[in-house]
Amino acid sequence: MIFRGAAQAGRGPLGVAPLGAVPPPVLERVAAVARGALGFMPLPPFPPLDPAPFLDAARRQYRADLVLARLKESAPPGGRILAVAAVDLFLPVLTYVFGCAELRGAAAVVSTHRLDPRFHGEPEDAGLLLERLEKETLHELGHLLGLVHCADRSCLMASAHDVGEIDVEEPSFCADCRAKLRARA
């Protein structure tokens, strides 16, 4: 997949860490997207994070805000860290999230769980899962770089509450969001 017009040199280092059982090729793809589309400098792979401390047993989901707090402790000096989760994430005020990030912060997390077509009763489709994951990754990294949600429904920074909204997003930031990224470089 090609992400048009966003790459900037010097975004700083970005570490990618698995949260749960995430296949290494998925982690490598996420790191490549961050590097190619936004110009982050890759760091060596981070060790896997155990999702157990973030589990809310009553909901059988994992608290994304607690994941972010833990990630902030592991962020490299002057850099950022992104966790790729194989578990279902939520925030206390939301039923679920595809990911979340600190605005202009050091930590973000994305989850493959609800991006997987099989979660929605559809046939396995690794290509569609990766496409959704790439879009969600860039969305959350956009928040780390200071972008807020965009009103343009085709922009990667549009707020998505279901996978159908992710699917209609273009694989790029809109012109306004690209301009904001350039201004923050």
User: Which tokens hold the place of 120?
Assistant: 């929605």
181 lies in a domain?
Answer: no
Residue 105 lies in a domain: yes
> Where in the sequence numbering do the catalytic residues fall?
140
Q: Is residue 160 assigned to a domain?
A: no
66 lies in a domain? yes
**Partner residues linked to 62 by β-bridges:** 55, 89
Q: Domain containing 63: what range?
A: 13-150
pLDDT tens, residue by residue, 82-96: 999 999 999 999 999
Q: How many domains does the chain have?
A: 1
Say which CATH number the domain at 94 has: 3.40.390.10
Q: Residue 44: inside a domain, yes or no?
A: yes
Whether the Cβ atoms of residue 111 and residue 63 lie closer than 8 Å to each other: no
> For 142-180, what is each residue's pLDDT tens digit?
999 999 999 999 999 999 999 999 999 999 999 999 999
Instruction: Give the Cβ contact number of residue 55 at 10 Å.
Output: 15
Q: Indicate whether this model's pTM tops 0.75.
A: yes
Percent of the chain's residues with pLDDT above 90: 84
Q: How long is the chain?
A: 185
Percent of the chain with pLDDT over 70: 94
